[in-house]
Structure 1
Amino acid sequence: MRDADRDPGAVRWEIPEPVASASGKPAEGSLRALFVPYGTDGLRPGPDIENYGNDTEFNERQATAVRAEQLKGMPRKYRDVVEKRRITRLAIRTYLSRETSHGAGEPSYLVEVGVTRFADRGSVRLTVDAYRGMAASDVFDEGPVIKGHKDAVCVRARDDEDDDELVALECVAGIGDLLVSFSATGSDPTDTEGITTLVAKQLGRIGDAGRAV
């Protein structure tokens, strides 16, 4: 839920350059092993996230620092609730939608997926509740429902009617001691169906015990 209070007219969407290849094969039992594989539905490796790469896992100290940076745009009353919860690991990966033919008018999008392991399941529930409260506020517009995952919370960032403007869709869901987050951006009209399909597949891939299924 980054940049919640930004001026939506200040950002323009440009398709980023995908990286040549992703990081090395995830180790068994790592959070990176939980991600939907590249190539699913034509999804490609996305661009690096700042200095972190496009497919990275962080230890507790690193994860806490990365989370603090990611939450800077969240309204203070909700950010305080989230930041108080201890996390032990974090993995992030970016995806670009399948390549489209020039001039075909097909929407393209970029999705950043994060999987965060919390110290306890109660903290995951409290964190999701904080996002749910924010979704019910006037900061965001209501987002789509994720089929098969009724507890997932999705919102749309506010934007104007200029087709060149950045359009953002944010989703979060808790599974056991994991918080799974999605941040999608793209040109309007955004391929909402493609994004929500990835969200559903990612949540379905993670079992209740926090393992890939």
Structure 2
Amino acid sequence: MQPDSSTARAPGLPTPAPTLILASSSRYRRELLERLRIPFGTAVPDIDETPHAGETPEATALRLSVEKARAVAAALPAGTGRTLVIGSDQVATFDGLQIGKPGTHERALAQLQAMRGREVLFHSALSLLDTSTGQTASVDVVTKVRFRDLSDAALDAYLRAEQPYDCAGSAKSEGLGIALLEAIESDDPTALIGLPLIALTRMLLDAGYPLLETQS
């Protein structure tokens, strides 16, 4: 098959890096991706994030990460060159129950009260969709977290100080929320914040993205 004239390049010229898009409105994921010092855009995926009946937390996180990437890829203008779209979703769970973003102080306090002294699993799913092939690579990075058994007053004071109402599990491990945690077990320290960078860099390199070559 002959290369398309719009993308063919003269011999000897380097192939341009594909465009990178983060399919998320999360400032936490954006700040994590900025650590890689590579250019990227963001787009908000328009999907229903409601878990399906009988769906496991891992399945929910993986499905939503894929759907976010696909939704953003489908909305790209016609003629857009090769684009890698990053989708990610996080679901916290304990006792078989899924824990979402609390949204309010009251719900966040109830979450922390239920989890104190307990082990909670955080499923941080990641997907990378390559628009040139339509293929999607996905992985679920699991983090085990044990919460300290703190008083209601301490939990309430934390919530008023940091207001983590947009975080699954109601605690920001990268901030004051670390004081709520007794132990963290994970293969990727960034997974708990919301975007597993070790897994992502592996996916980008596997996709041929010039991750280190783009550094100045």
Same fold (TM over 0.5): no
Larger gyration radius, structure 1 or structure 2? 2
TM-score by length of 1: 0.29
TM-score by length of 2: 0.28
